Structure formats: structure tokens, C-alpha cells
Structure 1
Amino acid sequence: MLKYYTYRLPFKQPFRTAGSEFSHREGIILVYKEDGIEAYGEIAPLPGFSEESLEQIKEVLKINHEHLQESIRTGEGKQTLTVLDQIHRFPSLSFGIDALLHDLEAKKANKPLGRFLFPDFPESVKANATLSIQEPAQVISKAKDLTEQGFTTLKVKVGKNFNAELKLLQDLRHQFPDLAIRIDANQSWTKDEAIQNLKALDSLNIEYCEQPVHKDKFSDMAAVQEAIKTPVAADESLRNKKDATELSELKAGRLFIVKPMLLGTFDTIFVTKRTADTHNIEVVVTTMLESAVGRAMTSILAAGLGNQKRAHGLATGSLLDNDISSDEWMNNPVIRFPEKAGLGISLDMEGLKKLF
């Protein structure tokens, strides 16, 4: 039996990114039960990033509930997913259904999902933490706290006042000479500003800069990368397979920031990874601030597809005031995967609201 549940999880404090501010995270949890097995998927479009809305997703699920349930029962869920993906082109819907189908298959095989998907699945994957720009003393204090927790990579949000940000990054590097520091400009700079600013950071050994220019200006991304030595990472620019191909051919960066909830089906995610590999582009995988179900799935994909030498954007559970699972393994600086079948988590069903 297939059921849908909604959640609304508040953040500990308002979360700001790419010009948007979020007080809470909303989404839908898919739960399928069969012969004592319970499989999960999550659908969580993020306003400002995803083109589809949660209300659109709810309508599609309402119309297709019986057919999707029956197709999963008869082993034809993948075919139904393909049709829904082609008709609606709602990546978060496709990702949630595909995650549920893979979780179900892994549990039927009694294998952890990571080892079910990837023959050489690692035991763990590193996560980075994120610093917002505040008073320098606060940033240094927060960085000290995070490194003491075990984080070896910190991402710093920039793009508002570069002179102040430069000073702060210099202080961070002085205080933490061995720390991997990456920055996220969130499309804040013009091409010329990006080149000038990133050249000013040359001595600080910045790991990479995410999205220095507007997401649609692929040629500007390429020009910035050609002019500087710091690696550029495509984040908001990477929305589908077509973007991946165009960015690769233009050499518009040396890394892809892959958000599975934004790309859609596992086929699309794996094709994006192959495109990156073909063009010698590294992959870093990040969540979209989902609940534990989405983060567990994203962590598995990060370990299986992402660059193992880099940390990935997975430690976002700490931003939430509460969650739908009490499992904590995906909330650490080094995520170690449990020896449990499927996703490796259980849900606290209390608090979830049945959709219909």
C-alpha cells in the first residue's frame, strides 16, 4: 500500500540562500508497505530553486495514486515513473519516486542501499559545514567550534561586501592553516568582479568558488575559470542534463554541485555524473535542506558518485529544529553508513500528516 504524508519542519533560525529566506522546510514523504517491508521516498521542491511547486506535486500524486500504487505492486513502478517524468518534468517528484523504488528493491534484496547501487561503495563520506558572514569574532568562534566537532571543510557564504569578506577569509586562513575553505558567491558578482575578487584570494588556497556569476551566464562562468587559478563550481547553473553538457563543453568550471532533488531520476543523475567524468569535472553532492529521508538518500549518492577526496554538502540536518527520524548517522562530519537494509533509517510517523 502506498501512502503520502506531508511535513513542515521549522529551521532553528531563518535560513538565507540565493536571495531567499526560509523559516521552515516542507515536503512529502512516500511510504510503501509490502510483505513486512516499508520503503521511503521524499519529494521536496525548494522555492527559488525548483520550478515545480508542492501544490503541483500534490495534484499529480492525487490523480495518479491508484495507478502508481498498482504499478509498484506488480513491479512496473519504473515504467510509471518514466511516463510521469516525461509528462510533468517535475524533478523532485521523479527523485522521490525513484528513491522509493530503489529503497524497496534494496530491502527486498536485504542489502544496504549504497552497496545495492554501487559495487565499490565506501564505508563513509565527509561532510562540510557552512559559515554565514557575521562579525569576525563570531565567525572565528563558530569555525573553532565546528573544527572541534570534526569538520575539516567549511563553506563561507560571500557576495555582499568583498573587502570585509576578504579580511574575514584572511583571518580564517591565519587561524586555521590546514582547513579546507570553499566559498559560495550565490551569483553575486559580474564576470569582471569575479575575476578581480578571486585573484585577490589567490594566496588563501581557496578550495573552490561556487557560482560566482549569474546562473544563466555560462560563457561568463567559462571566462572566469579561464582567467583564475581557483576552481569554479557550477551550482545554480546545473539544473538538468542539457546544462551539464553545455557547461562541460564550455569548460565553465572544474566542479559540478549536484543536487539530486533538483535533477530528478537516478538515470538523469547518473548521466550527469558520466558527463562530468568524460570532461574531467569533479562532482560534489549536496542536499536541498530536506528531511532525514532525502538527506539519507543524498548521502548515499554522494558516497557513490561524488569525489571521495572532498567533503559534500550533507550536514544540513543541524539546521532543522526537529526531524521525521531520530536516526543521527547522517548528521556527522564523517557520515558512516549503517549495516541496515535500504536507506538505513526509520521514521517517526507521529507528526506526519496524511495527504489524502
Structure 2
Amino acid sequence: MKLTAYQYYLPFKKNLNTSNKSFKHRTGILLEYPCDDGRTVFGEAAPLPGFSKKSLDKIVGELKINVADISEALNSTEPVTSLQKVYETTSLANELAFGLDTLAYQITAQNKGTTMSQILFSQLQTSIKINALGDLLSDNIFAEVKQFVNKGFKTIKFKVGRNVKIEYQQLREIRSIYPDLTVRLDANQAWPLKEAITNCNRFSSLGIEYLEEPIAQPSPQNYEDLTQNIELPIGIDESIIHTDWWPNILPFTSYVILKPMLLGNFKKIFATNRLANTHDNKTVLTTSLESGIGRIMTAIFSSGFGNRQTAHGLMTGTLLARDLIDDSNCILNGEYQIPLSEIPFTIDPNILNQLSPIRLQK
């Protein structure tokens, strides 16, 4: 059987702005593999600029170099186990390993006459709470929040760090209108330690669920100093990807945000989740702004081991002008309905024809 790959380009409806980056589009790799029964399975590898350790071009190069071993593993009687051996002898990018395991678990499920979710988890929630995404610097922020609330969302996440004065004023007004709304913030490592302390204490008065990654130079000592001077619950996200010592921060955090696409193969995702749940941290799973394939996989992990009392980040598909898979019908009343019937994934042939093939073999 022959592994096929395509490069995709998915523009956002409008720029997605963080404290230190602006996203206009997403690029990634769509993986396609034909099974013995005639069906085809799809996976996705999508490095996130500013988060991922390796670029898209680097990952394409790794795929080309290792395509023979990867294809042999996928064609074996135990593709999941065989791929683990490939991971042990190579240094494949986390995103590529995630995409390959997405293929391998679908193949295994078909071979065993079961579903991928049943292989991964003994119990699975059929729906999970999710957060909406708001822009505090938008001219229409109050209308947007009202629309989210009317659609049943109980939690909204906002990026902060671009203009704290305005962001605080907008949040104070939102809180006065919606006192029961759960609000979470993400600073994307915007501030030096002293400024982080000041801003966390400023936002603390607004009843914030948690604030992600406030510190520009994260370290266990900086997080200890931060939490000794604030009461606001803190979450970590990109520190997990960028550092090896992130577990040393866990005594000082309340939430750990996991992006499965960026963590690697599924075995590594489970191991990271077990570690993240120490020190009474709550695990929140979010997408990496990838296509519908990665979002649905993130939803499955969220429903399998994500914290059940808090919302997860699965609404990013609404930000894209076009997509490989449309999962908008999965979102209802502020919850994501797990589309188990959509797996194995199927891609519209018209969408495939618009993608750029990647030449893997000579």
C-alpha cells in the first residue's frame, strides 16, 4: 500500500491576533493511506508557527526520508506497534507522529471491526463543553459576546496582552452584563514577571477562571514568584512544548492546556496527560488551529480524559474560511457532539483535487 501526502492552505476569515503573533492562514500536511478493504484513511500533520519545534518544510523532509519505513509499518499486521518502533529509531516531528498514529489507529480499528475511540478509551463522553473565542479589541465585541451567550456558550476565552488597559475595560463591562459567564484569558507569554504580577492582579478582580501563560520568560522560579504574589489561577500551554522542565511548574499552576497535535504520538499524549494531572491541575484540551481532522481527534481525546467540569477549545474551525472537514454541525448549545460516525475520516474528492501533492517517492 502507498502512503500519499498533500500540502494544504486554509485561510482564516480574518486575522487571528495574539499578544505576539498574527495568523492569516494555516498550512499543514494531509496524509492518505488505502486500506486492504478498499477504504481510505486520512491523518493530519500541522505544525503551529510560534509553538512547534519544526517547520512544515522540515516535516515534509522527514516524511520523504522515512516514507519506506512508515509505509512498511502501516502495512503491517500491527501498525500502531510497528510505528512505535519507527519513532524509537528516528526523531520524527511530534506533528508527523500525531498524523501517522491517526492513520494507524483507524487501520487497526477497521482490522478489528471496532472503532478508534473504543481502542483508545473504555469510556467516552458523547458531548463535551467547549469555549467560544472572543476578541476584546473588536469593534463588535459586545454583540459577539451576546451572540455566543444566546447560542448557549457558558465559557468564552479571550486573548490579552495587546492593550491591557482596553482589554480590562472591555472585560469589566462584559462581566457587569454577564455575571455568571465563565471567562478565561490567554496572554501567550506577553509580560515580564513584574508586569505579569500587576496584570494578573488587575484581572483577578473580574472573576477569571484562569489566565494562560502570563510570563515572557517562564521558569519554575518565575512561576513560584508569580503565584506568591497573585490569587488568579494560572494555566500553562506553550511551556509544555518549549521546555523539558515544565513539570516543575505544576505545583504553581491550576490548569494545564494540552494541544494533542503538538504533543506527538498517542502514547506520548497519554503520558503527558498523566503527568499534567498531578498537583490537582485540571486538564483542558485545545486544538492547534488545524483542520477538521485534527479538531475531531482533539475532541476524542477531550472526551476521553479531559476534565469534565470545564470547557475545552474545539471551536477554532469557525475561524477558517474553508476546511478539509466541516465539523460546524457538531457544535450545539455550547457543546461539541463527538462525530464518531465520521471516522474513518472522509474527504470530498473536490477538496483533494485542490490540494498540492507532495512527491514522497522517486
Out of 116, 121, 124, the residue aligned to residue 121 of structure 1 is 124
Aligned residue identity for 2:300:
I
Alignment TM-score, normalising by the size of structure 1 = 0.92
Find the aligned partners of 2:39 and 2:242 in 1 and give their Cα distance: 33
Native 8 Å contact 2:51 2:241 kept in 1: no
Unaligned segments of structure 2, at least 5 residues: none
2:82 alignment counterpart: 79
Q: How does 1:153-192 map to 2 (within 5 A)?
A: 153-192=155-194
Deviations 1:170-208 (A, max 9, x none): 101111111100111121122222222222333321000
In the alignment, which residue of structure 1 is the partner of 2:195? 193
SS in 1 for 2:244: helix
Distance in 2, matches of 1:160 and 1:151, equals: 25
2:107 aligns with: 104
Shift of 1:44: 0.5
Following superposition, the deviation at residue 324 of structure 1 comes to 1.1
Q: Distance in 2 between matches of 1:162 and 1:326?
A: 35
Structure 1 residue aligned with 2:256: 256
Listed as ranges, the matches of 1:28-39 within 5 Å are 28-34=29-35, 35-39=37-41
Structure 1 residue 53, shift from structure 2 partner: 1.1
More off after superposition, 295-304 vs 273-282: 273-282
For residues 144 and 265 of structure 1, the distance between their equivalents in structure 2, rounded to whole angstroms, comes to: 39
Aligned-partner SS, 2:325: coil
Structure 1: distance between partners of 2:342 and 2:314:
21
Distance 1:147 1:166, change over 3 A: same
Residue 136 of structure 2: aligned partner = 133
- Alpha-carbon deviations, 1:85-104, whole Å to 9, x = none? 65224111111111211122
Query: Residue 196 and residue 326 in structure 1: after superposition, are their counterparts in 2 closer, same or farther (change >3 A)?
Result: closer
| Alignment partner, residue 337 of structure 1 | 338
**Is contact 1:111–1:342 with CA below 8 Å preserved after alignment?**
no
Q: 5+ unaligned residues in a row in structure 1: which ranges? A: none
Q: Distance in 2 between the 1:85 and 1:18 partners?
A: 37
The amino acid that maps onto 1:105 is: T
Q: Aligned letter for 1:33?
A: P
CA distance in 1, matches of 2:314, 2:217: 22
Q: Any idea what the Cα deviations from partners look like across 1:73-126, whole Å, max 9, x if unmatched? A: 113533344434652241111111112111222233344433331112111111
Aligned amino acid, residue 292 of structure 2: A
Instruction: Name the amino acid aligned to 1:127.
Output: I
Aligned equivalent of 2:6: 5
Matched, 1:44 2:46: yes
Moved more, 123-132 or 85-94: 85-94
TM-score (structure 2 length as normaliser): 0.90
Deviation at 1:244, TM superposition (A): 4.0
TM-align CA RMSD: 2.1
